[in-house]
C-alpha cells in the first residue's frame, strides 16, 4: 500500500539545491560535526533526516551501527534510500514512514537519537511530547545529537536571526504546512530526561548550533542489536519525522 503524500514530498527533489543556495555546506557541517564521537553507537534512531545526507555519513563513519530512519514524508525517505543505495552499510539502514508524534517506538532501544533540523517544525505545545517520546526510546546510556538554528546572544545578531527565522517559518508554513511559527530551544526539554550537554559547535555567529547530549546511569543497560518493531517499515535501502 502506497503511503499518502505529504507536503514535504514536493520539496524532496529540490531539497539539496535549496539548502545549498541558502546555506552552502554549513547545514551539513552542522549535522556531521560530532560524527567522530558517535563511533561507539550501535543502534540509532534518525528522525527527519530529509534526503539522507546525515544517515549516509553515519553509515560510512560507523561500520557497526544499525539505523532506523523515520520520516513523515515518503518522498524524503525515497530520496534517502537512493542516497544510501550502493553504500557498504546500506543494509544496516531501515526506512520507516511515520509521524514521530504517534508512531510506535520501542522502549529504551537506541543508544543514539538524532534530530537534525526537525524539532523546529513543532510548536511549543507539541514539542515537549515529542521530546518525551524520543527520550523514552533512548537507552539508559545513550547519546542525543541535535542540530538546529538558534537565536545568538547580542542585540544585532539576535535581531538578524529572528528576522531570518521569521522568513524561513513563513516559507515552510506555506510550502510544507508546518504548524510551528517560532523557534523553541529544546535544550531544557532534553535535559529534563537526564541528558547533559557533552559538546557544542556553532556557525554563523551562533545562528547554527550542533549539540551532543549524553545520558548515562550506573546501572548499565546494553542496547539490543536486534531489530525491534518500529511503526511500519518501508522497503529498500527525512527532512521531517
Per-residue pLDDT of the chain (241 residues; tens, 9 = 90+): 555 566 565 566 666 778 888 899 999 999 999 999 999 999 999 999 999 999 999 999 999 999 999 999 999 899 999 999 999 999 999 999 999 999 999 999 999 999 999 999 899 999 999 999 999 999 999 999 999 999 999 999 999 999 999 998 888 777 667 788 899 999 999 999 999 999 999 999 999 999 999 999 743 333 333 444 565 444 333 344 5
pLDDT value of residue 238:
36
How many Å apart are CA 210 and CA 114, to the nearest integer?
A: 11
How many Å apart are CA 122 and CA 115, to the nearest integer?
A: 12
How many Å apart are CA 80 and CA 46, to the nearest integer?
A: 11
Q: Do the beta carbons of residue 113 and residue 48 sit within 8 Å?
A: no
pLDDT value of residue 240:
46
DSSP secondary structure letter of residue 33: T
Residue keyed to cell 534517502? 80
pLDDT value of residue 102:
96
Length of the chain: 241
Domain 9-234 belongs to what topology?
Rossmann fold (3.40.50)
Name the residue among 98, 134, 101 with its Cα closest to residue 115.
134
User: How many CB atoms lie under 10 A from the CB of residue 48?
Assistant: 25
Amino acid at each position: 500500500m502506497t503511503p499518502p503524500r505529504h507536503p514535504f514530498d514536493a520539496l524532496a527533489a529540490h531539497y539539496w539545491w535549496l539548502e545549498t543556495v541558502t546555506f552552502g555546506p554549513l547545514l551539513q557541517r552542522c549535522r556531521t560535526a560530532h560524527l567522530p564521537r558517535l563511533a561507539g553507537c550501535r543502534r540509532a534512531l534518525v528522525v527527519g533526516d530529509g534526503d539522507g545526507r546525515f544517515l549516509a555519513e553515519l553509515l560510512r563513519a560507523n561500520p557497526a551501527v544499525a539505523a532506523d530512519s523515520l520520516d513523515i514524508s515518503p518522498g524524503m525517505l525515497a530520496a534517502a534510500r537512493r542516497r544510501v543505495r550502493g553504500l557498504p552499510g546500506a543494509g544496516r539502514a531501515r526506512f520507516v514512514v511515520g509521524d514521530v508524534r504517534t508512531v510506535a517506538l520501542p522502549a529504551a532501544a537506541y543508544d543514539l537519537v538524532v534530530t537534525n533540523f526537525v524539532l523546529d517544525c513543532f510548536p511549543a505545545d507539541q514539542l515537549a511530547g515529542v521530546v518525551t517520546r524520543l527520550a523514552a526510546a533512548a537507552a539508559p546510556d545513550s547519546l542525543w545529537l541535535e542540530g538546529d538554528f538558534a537565536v545568538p546572544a547580542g542585540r544585532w545578531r539576535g535581531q538578524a536571526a529572528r528576522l531570518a527565522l521569521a522568513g524561513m517559518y513563513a516559507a515552510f508554513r506555506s510550502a510544507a504546512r508546518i504548524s510551528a511559527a517560532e523557534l523553541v530551544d529544546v535544550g531544557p526539554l532534553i535535559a529534563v530526561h537526564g541528558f547533559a550537554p557533552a559538546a557544542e559547535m556553532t556557525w554563523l555567529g551562533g545562528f547554527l548550533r550542533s549539540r551532543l547530549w549524553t545520558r548515562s546511569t550506573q546501572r548499565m543497560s546494553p542496547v539490543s542489536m536486534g531489530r525491534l518493531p518500529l511503526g511500519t517499515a518501508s522497503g529498500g535501502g527525512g527532512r521531517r519525522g
